[in-house]
Amino acid sequence: MDRPMTGKGLDLRELGRRVGAENAAVVREEIGDAWLDHARGQLHARVEAPGALANLGAAVADANVAASHQADLARVRNALLSPPSRRPAPIGWGFAWGAALAAAAAVLAFFVVSHQPAPLVASVGPDKLVAGAWIEASDAASHVAFSDGSSVQARKGTSIRVVELTEAGCDLDVVEGAVAVEVVPRPSNDWHVRAGPYAVAVLGTKFEVDWDREQRRLEVKLFRGKVSVTGPGLGERVLTPGQRLVVTPREIRVEIGPSKTVWAESTPTPSKPVLATKQTQTAPDPGGAAVASNKPRDVVAAQPNAAPPPAHQPAESVEMAKRKQRRRTKRARRRARTRRARTRATAAAAVTNAAQAQLQEAGNDDDGVDAEKGQAVHAPPWNELKTHRWCAAVEQGQRWGWARLADEKAERILAMADAARLCGRLELALQTYKTLRRRYPTDPEAERALFGMGRIGLAQGHHAYAARQFATYIARHPRGRFAEQARGRLLVCYAEQGDRGATCGAARAYMRHHRTGPRAAQAREIVKRCNATP
Amino acid sequence: MADHAHDLKDLRPRPVTSRARFLGDDAALTRALQNGHPGAPAELFDRYGGHIQRVLVNVIGVDQEIADLLHETFAQAFKSIASLKQGDRLKAWLTRIAVFTARGCLRRRTRGRWLRFFAPEQLPETRCNDATPEMREAVAATYAVLDKMSVDLRVPFALRYMEGLDLKEVASACEVSLATIKRRLAKADARFVSLASREPALGDWLREGSRWTAR
């Protein structure tokens, strides 16, 4: 028993049983029960060690993250990526040469700077845009013109942000909605259009990007040139003219035939940016109009300023405007229908919620079995979450693939963890909270995950574990959203553990911070008792 | 709290130049680095700087030298990016460089141990503001125990239990076979448990059940 054990759990367990069976009586006689208890404790510690090590490791890693110097990262980044600073030239023998070289360098620098290509200038009407500018096309389509002749048209209801303007191009972020981009080809072009997690790299081309933030649906239509689309689950897709790429959480689809839109039939690229601002200037191309009427799409209506208006076809312009109006009405009706259907579904869900929850409880627990088979066919559980059907969300999440949650945003992971907790799937909830904390250690949602882990520990009677989580939460977020609840629950944990000193300390801390809190009476009583019997 | 957030905001990496940013997945980023895209190095650092810093801190502990090691890792990565054939393995490749850099640092320290003028406990304490006193003690005791282990055992142990990598990832990061890493981890577990059982600050952790172990 004196020799240190090896770390293999099973071997240790077996060894422990044998040693315990053969020597227990002898040990009890010779050394006494106290030592045996101690030895059992040691054995237990060793048997459980590999698991406990993971727990310890996780806690140490958490502490490391908290203690890591953020400044290091910024400093190293600057040191690595900044251009090397010039060392001062030694003054002495080479002073004259140095002065001459400096003068020459100054002349050269002046020449280079004066001939350096300036960054692109973007403007909406008369207003010049700077990097970081937001363009909200809330009332009507908006047109952004660039100094190199390129242009971007944002459909009504679209939000875009100009991330960066360089001499080689522009970095645009489509926050929501659809844009039509036309980039004038140049050898040094470096244009990027981002939409959610996806990015479209451009050389010289004409294309449309439609990003639906709610549905996480991306649609890229290429009319001319070449673009490369990258993003999660997509890798890198290069589109050729005439192709349309649709990416949704369920599928990735490349179709042929976007050329049947107004864009493809529009007039050749204007050499100057088109600064049209009124919808009456719509391209009245007869071919385009005909095709558009055959295949009405949202994006068609989004391009009122796609080409400069030839002045000799006013009747067709009016016709086009009427068509657009009809489409708008149709769209509004469709949206209203969808809203009504959703309301009905929510009401029905409220009635059947209890029954569904029971069904879920009675269902099998084959986590991930369906997920592996049906990743491509099952929808994500966001709709169930929105309608507060927690068990249905868990069930749907498992069908969809719980592991895929790791790729989602922090708030979605948290929502699913909460759903699992509220549905009573505590183990699943605990794992999901841990995933969130590991995946987004510095995200504000990680704070809620930490608190959630404590709640689960408390609910399952693991008071030491729960106390650790709550204490960590309080240490990190002393004025956090759940600080009062964490202090109250910590009090309960310590009391349940029978740790008198810790309970007194927690009660005093509670009274100090939350004198009028919901557990104040309880805490006051505990403090009184602590003071009465030191 | 507010001041802290303000500090972090100030320290957030700022764009160094106005060069075009790179956008794309790991394979595309690797290609861009190999082709000398001006925005690619910054993107590599922004994407994996935090991860590499975490790996280094977990293997070595919070230390003054972390910034240098981080710098060394990325400098080495930029230098040898041409040798990376599978672009989608960029993260694993960077992790491997970080692990080898950390290993080199640990070996250097082991060799230079006889030159120390101070005992480890006399060295200035590193910052760890957010953790509870118990947690700080546990962290200090853990690294005191790890310091007594050989580098070949310490590195896989830290990657497995602190960084939370699976066995294959640990094997890949240490550039050894799966069987070797399993053997080393078994040895490391036993050694750690044996040493840690003498540390009072780690007693509670080791006695705890395995229920909460899955991370």
List pLDDT tens digits, range A133-161: 777 777 777 888 888 888 888 888 888 88
Position with higher pLDDT, A23 vs B44: B44
What's the pLDDT at B17? Answer: 42
Of A303, A293, A236, residue with least CA distance to A266: A303
Q: How confident is the model at residue B214 (pLDDT cuts 50, 70, 90)?
A: very low
- State the ipTM, two decimals: 0.71
Q: Is residue B12 part of a domain?
A: no
Q: How many CB atoms lie within 10 A of CB A132?
A: 10
Residue A222: half-sphere exposure toward Cβ, Cα within 13 Å: 25
How close A196 gets to chain B, by Cα (Å)?
12
Same-domain status, B169 and B103: no
Same-domain status, B78 and B172: no
Q: How confident is the model at residue A275 (pLDDT cuts 50, 70, 90)?
A: very low
Of B138, B168, B170, residue with least CA distance to B155: B170
CATH at B145: 1.10.10.10
- For residue A164 the two structure tokens come to 């960066």
What's the pLDDT at B93? Answer: 92
Nearest to B132 among A6, A228, A475 (CB): A475
Q: How confident is the model at residue A437 (pLDDT cuts 50, 70, 90)?
A: confident
C-beta separation of B163 from B156 below 8 A: no
By CB atoms closer than 10 A (0-12, 13-18, 19+), residue A261 is buried
Domain that holds residue B176: 128-215
Stretch B110-135: mean pLDDT: 54
Position with higher pLDDT, A419 vs A39: A419
Q: How confident is the model at residue A117 (pLDDT cuts 50, 70, 90)?
A: low
Last residue of a domain, one of B70, B90, B122: B122
What's the pLDDT at B182? Answer: 92
Most confident of A93-107, B61-75, B166-180: B166-180
What's the pLDDT at B183? Answer: 92
Position with higher pLDDT, A331 vs A232: A331
What's the pLDDT at B117? Answer: 46
Most confident of A19-33, A512-526, B92-106: B92-106
How close A38 gets to chain B, by Cα (Å)?
12
How close A120 gets to chain B, by Cα (Å)?
12
Q: How confident is the model at residue B12 (pLDDT cuts 50, 70, 90)?
A: very low
List CB contacts (< 8 A) between B30 and chain A: none
What's the pLDDT at B4? Answer: 44
Q: How many CB atoms lie within 10 A of CB A489?
A: 24
- Average pLDDT taken over every residue of chain A: 70
> Which residues partner with A179 through β-bridges?
A154, A209
Contacts of B48 (CB under 8 A, 6+ apart): B90, B91, B94
Same-domain status, B110 and B156: no
Same-domain status, B22 and B112: yes
Residue B108 to residues B105, B112, B178: CA-CA distances in angstroms? 5, 6, 27
The residue in chain B having the minimum alpha-carbon distance to the alpha carbon of residue A456 is B212
Q: How confident is the model at residue A234 (pLDDT cuts 50, 70, 90)?
A: confident
Q: How confident is the model at residue B179 (pLDDT cuts 50, 70, 90)?
A: very high
Position with higher pLDDT, A336 vs B130: A336
B54:A61 CB<8 A: yes
Tell me how far apart the alpha carbons of residues B19 and A377 are, in angstroms, rounded to a whole number. 42
User: Is the pLDDT reported for residue A439 higher than 70?
Assistant: yes
Beta-carbon contacts below 8 Å between A and B = 242
With a pLDDT cut of 70, the percent of chain B lying above it is: 76
Stretch A240-269: mean pLDDT: 62
Report CA A82 to chain centroid distance, whole Å.
29
Position with higher pLDDT, A282 vs B40: B40
Please tell me if residue B86 touches chain A, with a CB cutoff of 8 Å: no
How close A66 gets to chain B, by Cα (Å)?
6
Find the angle CA(A182)-CA(A184)-CA(A188) to the nearest 5 degrees: 125
Please tell me if residue B72 touches chain A, with a CB cutoff of 8 Å: no
Strands A127-129, A151-154: pairing kind: unpaired
Stretch B183-194: mean pLDDT: 89
How close A358 gets to chain B, by Cα (Å)?
27
Give SS3 for B1: coil
| Mutant choice from B14, B162, B169 vs A, greatest count of A C-beta within 10 A | B162
User: Is the pLDDT reported for residue B16 higher than 80?
Assistant: no
Q: How many CB atoms lie within 10 A of CB A99?
A: 12
A192:B21 CB<8 A: yes
B74:A58 CB<8 A: no
B131:A57 CB<8 A: no
Last residue of a domain, one of B76, B99, B122: B122
Please say whether the dihedral angle defined by the alpha carbons of residues B64, B69, B72 and B78, taken in this order, is positive or negative: negative
Tell me how far apart the alpha carbons of residues A246 and A255 are, in angstroms, rounded to a whole number. 8
Position with higher pLDDT, B140 vs A313: B140
With a pLDDT cut of 90, the percent of chain A lying above it is: 1
The residue in chain B having the minimum alpha-carbon distance to the alpha carbon of residue A3 is B194
By CB atoms closer than 10 A (0-12, 13-18, 19+), residue B160 is buried
Phi, psi of A163 (to 5 degrees): -75, -45
> Which residues partner with A144 through β-bridges?
A152
What's the pLDDT at B98? Answer: 93
Same-domain status, B89 and B118: yes
Q: What is the pLDDT of residues A385-408, one digit of tens each?
A: 877 788 888 888 888 888 888 778
List CB contacts (< 8 A) between A477 and chain B: 1
Tell me how far apart the alpha carbons of residues A457 and B205 are, in angstroms, rounded to a whole number. 16
- For residue A367 the two structure tokens come to 């986590």
Contacts of A223 (CB under 8 A, 6+ apart): A205, A206, A207, A208, A241, A242, A258, A259, A261, A263, A264
Please tell me if residue B126 touches chain A, with a CB cutoff of 8 Å: yes
How close B117 gets to chain A, by Cα (Å)?
26
Of A254, A213, A222, A221, residue with least CA distance to A235: A254
Q: What is the pLDDT of residues A455-501, one digit of tens each?
A: 888 888 888 889 999 998 998 888 888 888 899 888 888 888 888 88
Stretch A433-445: mean pLDDT: 83
List CB contacts (< 8 A) between B78 and chain A: 80
Contacts of A474 (CB under 8 A, 6+ apart): A483, A486, A487, A490
Which of A307-321, A416-430, B138-152, B198-212 is least confident? Answer: A307-321
The residue in chain A having the minimum alpha-carbon distance to the alpha carbon of residue B2 is A479
Report CA A447 to chain centroid distance, whole Å.
16
Same-domain status, B136 and B202: yes
Which of A117-131, A244-258, B163-177 is least confident? Answer: A244-258
List CB contacts (< 8 A) between A82 and chain B: 16
Most confident of A518-532, B134-148, B174-188: B174-188
Contacts of A219 (CB under 8 A, 6+ apart): A178, A208, A209, A210, A211, A244, A245, A246, A247, A299
With a pLDDT cut of 70, the percent of chain A lying above it is: 66
Strands A191-195, A170-182: pairing kind: parallel
Q: What is the pLDDT of residues A293-338, one digit of tens each?
A: 333 333 333 333 434 444 444 556 778 888 888 888 888 888 888 8
List CB contacts (< 8 A) between B27 and chain A: 235-236
What's the pLDDT at A483? Answer: 87
Per-residue DSSP letter, A156: T
What's the pLDDT at A14? Answer: 55
Contacts of A280 (CB under 8 A, 6+ apart): A309, A317, A321
Q: Is residue B178 part of a domain?
A: yes
CATH at B116: 1.10.1740.10
Q: What is the pLDDT of residues A357-379, one digit of tens each?
A: 433 443 344 444 444 444 456 78
Of A388, A502, A471, residue with least CA distance to A59: A471
The residue in chain A having the minimum alpha-carbon distance to the alpha carbon of residue B190 is A7
pTM for the whole thing? Answer: 0.37
List CB contacts (< 8 A) between B20 and chain A: 164, 166, 168-169, 171, 190, 192
Same-domain status, B112 and B140: no
Same-domain status, B145 and B97: no
Stretch B70-89: mean pLDDT: 87
Same-domain status, B96 and B133: no
Q: What is the pLDDT of residues A56-67, one digit of tens each?
A: 887 787 777 766
Burial B10-37 (b: 16+ CB within 10 A, else e): eeebeebeebbbbbbbbbbbbebbeeeb
Q: Could you name the CATH architecture of A122-326?
A: Sandwich (2.60)
Q: How confident is the model at residue B97 (pLDDT cuts 50, 70, 90)?
A: very high
Same-domain status, B80 and B166: no
| Mutant choice from A1, A11, A13, A69 vs B, greatest count of B C-beta within 10 A | A69
B70:A42 CB<8 A: no
Q: How many CB atoms lie within 10 A of CB A431?
A: 17
Residues of chain A with CATH 1.25.40.10: 356-532
Element containing residue B114 per DSSP (H, E) = none
- Options 1.10.10.10, 3.30.465.10, 3.20.10.10, 1.25.40.10; CATH for A356-532 is 1.25.40.10
B67:A75 CB<8 A: yes
Same-domain status, B149 and B81: no
- For residue B209 the two structure tokens come to 């059940």
Same-domain status, B105 and B132: no
How many domains are there within chain B? 2
